Amino acid sequence: MIYDVVIIGGGAAGFGCALTLASANDKFEWAKDKKYLIIDDNKSDLNAGKYFNVAGIEAGINGVDLLEKMKVQLKQYSNNELKNSTVNKIEKVESGFIIICENQTIESKTLVLATGMHKFDIEFSEVQVKENIFAPKPNKILLANTNNLISENLYVAGLASGVPSMFACANGDGTKVACDILKSWCGKVAVVHDVKS
Ligand SMILES: Cc1cc2nc3c(=O)[nH]c(=O)nc-3n(C[C@H](O)[C@H](O)[C@H](O)COP(=O)(O)OP(=O)(O)OC[C@H]3O[C@@H](n4cnc5c(N)ncnc54)[C@H](O)[C@@H]3O)c2cc1C
CATH of the domain at 104: 3.50.50.60
The pLDDT of residue 103: 87
Nearest CA to ligand 1 atom 4: 49
Render pLDDT for 100-121 as a digit per residue (tens, 0 to 9): 999 899 999 999 999 999 999 9
In three-state secondary structure terms, 92 is: strand
Cβ–Cβ < 8 Å for 38, 81? yes
DSSP 94-146: TTEEEEEESS-EEEEEEEEE---SS----B-TT--EEE-TTSSSSS-EEE--B
Distance CA 9, CA 191 (A): 22
Span from the CA of 110 to the centroid of ligand 1 (angstroms): 22
Residue 97: which domain range? 2-186
Span from the CA of 44 to the centroid of ligand 1 (angstroms): 4
Instruction: Single out the residue of 178, 185, 188 nearest to residue 23, CA to CA.
Output: 178
What is the mean pLDDT of the segment spanning 35-57? 98
Given ligand 1 and candidates 115, 140, 177, which is best to mutate, with the most ligand atoms within 8 Å of its CB?
115
Domain-embedded: residue 166: yes
Number of structural domains (the chain) is 1
Render pLDDT for 58-96 as a digit per residue (tens, 0 to 9): 999 999 999 999 999 999 999 999 999 999 999 999 999
Q: Is the CB of 158 under 6 A from ligand 1?
A: yes
Render pLDDT for 125-166 as a digit per residue (tens, 0 to 9): 999 999 999 999 999 999 999 999 999 999 999 999 999 999
The pLDDT of residue 190: 95
Distance CA 114, CA 37 (A): 12
Q: Is the pLDDT of residue 197 over 90?
A: no
Domain-embedded: residue 181: yes
Domain-embedded: residue 153: yes
Distance CA 197, CA 155 (A): 35
Span from the CA of 10 to the centroid of ligand 1 (angstroms): 9
Domain-embedded: residue 155: yes
Domain-embedded: residue 26: yes
Domain-embedded: residue 191: no
Q: Is the CB of 123 under 6 A from ligand 1?
A: no
Instruction: Single out the residue of 9, 64, 22, 71 nearest to residue 181, CA to CA.
Output: 22
The pLDDT of residue 139: 97
Given ligand 1 and candidates 8, 15, 45, which is best to mutate, with the most ligand atoms within 8 Å of its CB?
45
One-letter amino acid for residue 41 of the chain: D
